[in-house]
Amino acid sequence: MIGTIIKKAGYKWRKARVVLTSNDPEYKAKVGAIQTILSQLKTTEVFFSIDEYGPSAVKKKGGRKRIAPGEVYTVPQRQASKGFLIISGALELSRNQVTHFYSKKKNTEEMVKMMDRLLAEYSDCTTIYVSWDAASCHISKELFTEIKRRNADGGRHPIVKTAPLPAGAQFLNIIESVFSGMSRAIIHNSNYPSVEAAQQAIDTYFAARNESFRKHPKKAGGKIWGAERVSNEFRESNNCKDPLYR
């Protein structure tokens, strides 16, 4: 009788849904600042979402794949790594273009290298906004010293401004979605013979992705990068970081 009454009242069993959270007391202010920048972004300004992928070991990788009847798909639990790679990447939001290179470590020196590459690649712009999470190499004193030094360089380069993400909010970093899509397409179900072979496949993926968005800036579907889990836009409801494909 009690069970019938509860059911008629509309009560149902539901599993708790894990929601995205950040413990940063300035969460709303930082998100609001980024939203304001993006809503007022000029044609001479560019906004970059920056992060690193890896380190990822180069070895036979598992994943979901379609197999023939009777075929057994296995991946050795223990296997020797052929090396590792770390990708330092920057996604320009308005043009949907990825700039990347390979690093040996995640440190301030690599972030300065990324900044210099973006300054050279987008030298025709007036302002470059860089947005990243609260990792130590993204908020070091040395990095901000280098940013100030370049901004004081007599106007030879675009001005660099930072738009930091809230602490503990990696899910808002849009390039995470691009890395997840790349991982699904290139890393999972792979067995590259060397680090160089893996890098060549990644380079080809990003080159094809960039070329497609140059030709069709509003069309992302129908290609392998359709595996990107969310749209490439800054929204609080976007969980850009896919734990299954990182």
- What is the pLDDT averaged over residues 69-77? 89
Task: Please check whether residue 67 lies inside any domain of the structure.
Answer: no
Residue 91: pLDDT over 90: yes
Task: Please check whether residue 6 lies inside any domain of the structure.
Answer: no
Task: Please check whether residue 7 lies inside any domain of the structure.
Answer: no
Q: What is the mean pLDDT of the chain?
A: 85
pTM (2 d.p.): 0.80
Task: Please check whether residue 200 lies inside any domain of the structure.
Answer: yes
Task: Please check whether residue 2 lies inside any domain of the structure.
Answer: no
Residues 62/244, Cβ–Cβ less than 8 Å: no
- HEC secondary structure over 126-145: CEEEEECCCCHHHCCHHHHH
pLDDT at 239: 64
Task: Please check whether residue 74 lies inside any domain of the structure.
Answer: no
pLDDT band at 223; cut points 50, 70, 90: very low
Looking only at the bridges linking them, the beta strands covering 45-57 and 127-131 are parallel
Residue 226: pLDDT over 60: no
What is the per-residue pLDDT across 196-212, written as a single tens digit (0 to 9) for each? 999 999 999 999 999 98
pLDDT at 242: 62
Q: Which domain holds residue 89?
A: 21-61+82-245
pLDDT at 90: 95
| Run of H or E including 103 | strand 97-103
Q: Of all residues in the chain, what percent carry a pLDDT higher than 90? A: 46
Task: Please check whether residue 70 lies inside any domain of the structure.
Answer: no
DSSP bridge pairs for 102: 87
- What is the pLDDT averaged over residues 17-22? 71
Question: How many domains is the chain built from?
Answer: 1
* Residue 89 identity (one-letter amino acid): G
Q: Among 16-25, 30-39, 80-89, 190-199, which is the least confidently predicted range?
A: 16-25
Q: What is the CATH number of the domain that holds 91?
A: 3.30.420.10
Residue 246: pLDDT over 80: no
As a whole number of angstroms, the distance between CA 123 and CA 2 comes to 71
Residue 138: pLDDT over 90: no
